């Protein structure tokens, strides 16, 4: 029995290149990254990041924010903290 298995996936060429460039900066190969992902899935018994479908309130809030409704802008952290009462 083989000690390795092969994984094949189709992916957009541009995305592949961009991700491989990031991985190279991190000193990781695609194979090492897949190993890490698989180990984390096994360890956590699920994906190692949140995958969620937003509820209706979240969707409305995101849409309103994109339109600038209810959005506050601050010129400094101090101004933000003052607005928060901190």
DSSP code string of 25-83: HHT--HHHHHHHHHHHHHHHTS-SS------HHHHHHHHHHHTTTT----SSHHHHHHH
Tens digits of per-residue pLDDT, 19-50?
999 999 999 999 999 999 999 999 999 999 98
Whether the predicted model's global pTM rises above the 0.85 cut: no
Are 77 and 85 in contact by the 8 Å Cβ rule? The answer is no
In the chain, where the domains are located? 9-51, 55-86
Tens digits of per-residue pLDDT, 51-82?
888 999 999 999 999 998 888 999 999 999 99
What DSSP character marks residue 20?
Answer: H
Q: How far apart are CA 76 and CA 64, in angstroms?
A: 23
What DSSP character marks residue 3?
Answer: S
């Amino acid at each position: 029995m083989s000690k390795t298995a092969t994984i094949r996936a189709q992916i957009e060429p541009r995305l592949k290149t961009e991700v491989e460039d990031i991985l190279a900066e991190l000193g990781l190969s695609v194979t090492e990254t897949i190993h890490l992902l698989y180990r984390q899935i096994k360890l956590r018994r699920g994906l190692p990041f949140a995958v969620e479908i937003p509820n209706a309130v979240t969707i409305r809030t995101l849409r309103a924010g994109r339109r600038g409704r209810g959005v506050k802008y601050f010129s400094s952290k101090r101004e933000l903290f003052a607005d928060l009462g901190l």
